[in-house]
């Protein structure tokens, strides 16, 4: 298994990317291809002991920053770590590609360099969403602000396959994010999508209201990228606010500090359940090869887990199964019936 990692992507690159990659080869036995400025990568590698046969460096002198315009950056920065890494993936020189860099650029590169899965009009970015029952897969979370019902149907199929093959969930339930649970609720997109999903060969639960998302009542949450991104960022901000308010309350006086000390193990476990680092990254589903978008502030733990995720993604042939299911789906009429 050979996985390419954008060594220059993310707020903590290249040090966290290099450390996470070394941790991954020790734990998962993968072969890592670090793509980026060779001198900087070697400087970081010199700090650690590792099996040198398991790490390869591909030099790429340019960096796509978060300030770069996505499409323009992909077209103009041909020798950037992201573009070079995506080309390695396209040419089957590696099995998967990971980057914590510019999200828009990675989406554009996945589309224009790696290419769409045949039959998929809109690749989608999915993310693992922590719930009271474990996790749900939320998609799309930003790749497509405007969608048609057919796109949401494809998201549902791809999300189901990913949950089965990567997250290990048998017969994952699929919910459509909406403003009410009744079938007739929502705008034209959700109303038409409901009927389409009902007739698709998935375990369709029905509509899911936003307040029920954290309860984990379904395994896959389907929505357009505009709604998904708002859900994701609202949740991140809410979690930060809750922890900040708890810390303020616990530091109020000696008695509350004592209470905080007693509750520390439980609070630590609770925080770990919400820690994005434990879930790796967000897969870009609907492109021809495995692409993972790691969080921009990923540390070595997040990078290591993103590599683990990419390994499972590739080994379980998710892309091939998606292609097969979409081909089968396209052989049916609008409501999935032959």
List the chain domain ranges. Answer: 1-120+286-338, 126-278
Fold of 126-278: Isopropylmalate Dehydrogenase (3.40.718)
Q: And the tokens for 59? A: 């030099």
Please name the residues in contact with 129: beta carbons below 8 A apart, sequence gap of 6 or more. Answer: 135, 136, 137, 138, 213, 221, 231, 232, 235
At 42, phi and psi to the nearest 5? Answer: -65, -35
Answer with the residue of higher pLDDT: 330 or 283.
Answer: 283
- CATH code for the domain defined by 1-120+286-338: 3.40.718.10
Q: What is the pLDDT of residue 267?
A: 64
Confidence of residue 4 (pLDDT cuts 50, 70, 90): very high
Render pLDDT for 169-196 as a digit per residue (tens, 0 to 9): 999 999 999 999 999 899 999 999 999 9
Give the separation between CA 42 and CA 34, rounded to whole angstroms.
Answer: 10
Q: Mean pLDDT across the chain, nearest whole number?
A: 91
Q: Do 126-278 and 1-120+286-338 have the same topology in CATH?
A: yes
Q: And the tokens for 120? A: 């998929």
Q: What is the pLDDT of residue 333?
A: 46
Give the separation between CA 186 and CA 255, rounded to whole angstroms.
Answer: 49
Section 161-168 average pLDDT = 93
Give the separation between CA 245 and CA 44, rounded to whole angstroms.
Answer: 38
Q: Is it the case that residue 302 has pLDDT exceeding 90? A: yes
Please name the residues in contact with 247: beta carbons below 8 A apart, sequence gap of 6 or more. Answer: none
Give the separation between CA 155 and CA 149, rounded to whole angstroms.
Answer: 10
Q: What is the pLDDT of residue 274?
A: 59
Q: Is it the case that residue 273 has pLDDT exceeding 80? A: no
Answer with the residue of higher pLDDT: 105 or 132.
Answer: 105
Give the separation between CA 126 and CA 158, rounded to whole angstroms.
Answer: 10
**Given the structure tokens 């590696």, which residue do they identify?**
94
Q: What is the pLDDT of residue 338?
A: 41
């Amino acid at each position: 298994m050979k996985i390419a990692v954008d060594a220059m992507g993310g707020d903590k690159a290249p040090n966290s990317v290099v450390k996470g990659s070394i941790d991954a080869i020790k734990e998962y036995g993968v072969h890592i291809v670090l793509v980026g400025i060779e001198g900087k990568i070697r400087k970081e590698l010199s700090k650690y002991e590792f099996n040198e046969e398991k790490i390869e460096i591909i030099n790429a002198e340019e960096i796509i920053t978060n300030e770069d315009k996505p499409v323009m950056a992909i077209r103009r920065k041909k020798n950037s770590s992201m573009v070079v890494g995506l080309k390695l993936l396209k040419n089957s020189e590696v099995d998967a590609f990971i980057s914590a860099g510019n999200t828009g650029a990675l989406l554009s590169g996945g589309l224009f360099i790696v290419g769409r899965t045949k039959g998929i009009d809109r690749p989608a970015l999915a993310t693992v969403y922590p719930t009271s029952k474990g996790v749900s897969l939320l998609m799309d979370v930003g790749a497509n602000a405007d969608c048609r019902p057919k796109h949401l149907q494809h998201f549902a199929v791809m999300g189901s396959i990913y949950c089965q093959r990567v997250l290990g969930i048998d017969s994952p339930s699929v919910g459509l994010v909406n403003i009410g649970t009744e079938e007739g609720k929502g705008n034209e997109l959700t109303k038409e999508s409901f009927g389409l999903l009902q007739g698709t060969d998935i375990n369709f639960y029905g509509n899911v209201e936003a307040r029920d998302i954290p309860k984990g009542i379904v395994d896959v949450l389907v929505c357009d990228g505009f709604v998904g991104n708002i859900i994701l960022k609202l949740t991140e901000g809410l979690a930060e606010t809750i922890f900040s308010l708890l810390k303020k309350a616990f530091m109020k006086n000696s008695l509350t500090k004592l209470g905080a000390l007693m509750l520390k193990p439980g609070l630590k476990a609770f925080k770990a359940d919400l820690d994005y680092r434990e879930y790796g990254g967000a897969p870009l589903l609907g492109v021809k090869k495995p692409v993972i978008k790691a969080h921009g502030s990923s540390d070595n733990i997040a990078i290591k887990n993103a590599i683990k995720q990419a390994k499972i993604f590739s080994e379980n042939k998710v892309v091939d199964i998606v292609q097969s299911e979409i081909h089968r789906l396209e052989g049916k009429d609008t409501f999935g019936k032959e």
